[in-house]
A and B are shown apart, each in its own frame.
Chain A
Amino acid sequence: QVLLVESRGGLVKPGGSLRLSCAASGFTFSDYYMSWIRQAPGKGLEWVSYISHTGGAVYYADSVKGRFTISRDNAKNSLYLQMNSLRAEDTAVYYCATHSSGWPTPIDYWDQGTLVTVSS
């Protein structure tokens, strides 16, 4: 079955950096677009970034553009989110998610999420 296992988040100081990774299994990872979505405590869902199946096309929310970088390694069945210049407002549970076949398509699977806290 589809399994998405995300690296642990953690506490980061404002201005700091953190890299999230998401290991995928149970499906042909290289065939599917992937997203990162976040949810601030007690708030709604916010789409962060989206990457094509080859990694050749990437998209970012305005709130993270220029600070976050999405990437993937299809040989390792892994998705990444490099987060730089972190701010307090980036504090959230971050979800790795896989979309249905094609583009743009709904999200089929989500991982359980990991909490990233940005605080001094």
Chain B
Amino acid sequence: SYVLTQPPSVSVSPGKTASITCEGINIGTKSVHWYQQRSGQAPVVVIFYDRDRPSGIPERFSGSNSGNTATLTISGVEAGDGADYFCQVWDSGSDHWVFGGGTKLTVL
């Protein structure tokens, strides 16, 4: 089955840029969606179809996807961005949704 690999944790200082990667074989051929989950809350989509932002999501959030790596980038990180982030794709080979293991973003 298709596997998505994320770093368990990323730390960043306020105002800096955080990059969270999601690795999968030929992930660049799939559409990647990113979810933010704050502690004790349900997830919220922050990027869909690799790079699109839902209404209400700050422009500081951006995404890219190429080759074997998709990346969620958060520029000008704020304390409120501290959360778990999960990538997701549809694997048409198995007809399964697949989530990455998640990355805990810590704002120092």
Contacts and interface: CB of A to CB of B under 8 A. Distances in A.
Interface string B72-107: 000000000000101010100001111111100000
Contact of A62 (B1, B48, B90): B1
B45 A108 contact: yes
Which size bracket describes the interface of B in this complex?
Answer: 20 to 34
Interface in B54-82: none
A50 B97 contact: yes
Contacts, number: 50
Contact of B99 (A46, A62, A111): A46
Interface in B11-69: 33, 35, 37, 42-45, 48-49
B33 A107 contact: yes
B47 to A, nearest CB: 9
B89 to A, nearest CB: 9
B contacts with A: majority SS: strand
Nearest to B88: A106
A45 B86 contact: yes
A61 B102 contact: no
B45 A107 contact: yes
Contacts of A62: 1, 96
B42 A110 contact: yes
Nearest to B32: A106
A104 B45 contact: no
Interface in A85-120: 95, 100, 104, 106-108, 110-113
Nearest to A47: B97
Contact of A45 (B43, B44, B48, B49): B43
A100 to B, nearest CB: 8
A44 interface: yes
Nearest to A46: B99
Nearest to A103: B90
B3 to A, nearest CB: 13
A59 interface: yes
26 contacts: A35-B97, A37-B99, A44-B101, A44-B102, A45-B35, A45-B88, A45-B102, A46-B99, A47-B96, A47-B98, A50-B97, A59-B95, A59-B97, A62-B96, A95-B43, A100-B48, A104-B90, A104-B97, A106-B45, A106-B49, A106-B88, A107-B43, A107-B88, A110-B42, A110-B44, A113-B42
